[in-house]
Structure formats: structure tokens, C-alpha cells
Amino acid sequence: FWKHLDIVDKTASFVARNGFEFENKIQQSEKGNKKFGFLNPGDPYHAYYQHKVKEFKEGELAQPSEY
């Protein structure tokens, strides 16, 4: 569970810094990878992911370390 949230947080951090074109690249390269299911609007973690992207963009959170 926590490892999954770590992936969500790190991805949100990268998307906040690099833009949604980075998210699109991840969606294409990780298609079918359940670890990145949160990128899909129907996923239960999608709202959390969007919230984290917003927080990172607004500078409310420190950026997590690199993958």
C-alpha cells in the first residue's frame, strides 16, 4: 500500500515539474502496468494523484527524491 502511494507521489512530483505531456508519456510507456493505474480517471487513487500534483505545483510540498 505505502509503496504504491510512493509511486503516486513521485509521479505527481514529476508531472508538477514537467507538465502533463510527461504524464502522457508515462501513460503510453506504462500502458497495462497496474502500478500506474492511478493515471486513469476511473481509478480510486486518481483523485489523490490529482490533489498531489496540485500541491506540488503550488509548492506546498517538498519534492520527493528521484526514483
The grid coordinates listed for 17 are 515539474
More confident residue, 14 or 62: 14
**φ, ψ for residue 61, nearest 5 deg:** -120, 150
Name which residue leads in pLDDT, 64 or 48. Answer: 48
The pLDDT assigned to 67 comes to 44
Encode pLDDT of 50-67 as tens digits: 999 999 999 866 655 544
- pLDDT tens sequence across 18-46: 999 999 999 999 999 999 999 999 999 99
Cα gap 59→29, rounded to integer Å: 28
